[in-house]
A = this chain, B = another copy of it.
Amino acid sequence: MKTTRRKFIGAMAQMAAAFGITTWPMVSFAKTTEEKMLVHQVYFWLKDPEDRQAFDQLKSGLEKILRISSIESGHIGVPATTEARDVVDHSYSFSYQVRFKNIADHDSYQEDPIHLQFIEECADLWNQVKVYDYNPL
């Protein structure tokens, strides 16, 4: 295998020389932005944080969308009892994190009927949503 690879590189070098190419083009095997794993992190603020029924309804809705097939993994969270500091926001009702293999899976999730139904049924429960989408390095 090593010999084959060396022969191939040698042939490429000869061909490059024949075309007058002396500097090699960089061939990168790094993932493109489209191929990268994507984390979709959402925070929900209930209109009435004390409304237990609204809390249960949103929790149940989030549990349903967690089952959308394009999701790789995910979980629902509630604010932890860490120290109250200016930079720490404990005011939201739910944290919701889902991971996708790539941005195409994320886009398909956004349009999934289960997701659209969730928005229709639950959007009236919250007064604020914040989304942070990121690619882990």
Contact = CB atoms under 8 A, between A and B. Distances in A.
Contact of A95 (B92, B95, B106, B132): B132
Q: Chain A: interface secondary structure?
A: strand
Copy count, this protein chain: 2
A97 B107 CA distance: 23
Contacts of A41: 41, 95
B33 A87 contact: no
18 contacts: A33-B80, A38-B80, A38-B82, A41-B41, A75-B137, A77-B134, A77-B136, A77-B137, A79-B132, A80-B103, A80-B135, A82-B103, A87-B129, A87-B131, A89-B131, A89-B132, A90-B133, A95-B134
Given A80-B134, A80-B135, 14 more contacts: A36-B80, A38-B80, A39-B77, A41-B95, A77-B135, A78-B137, A79-B132, A79-B135, A80-B133, A87-B129, A89-B131, A92-B132, A95-B132, A95-B134
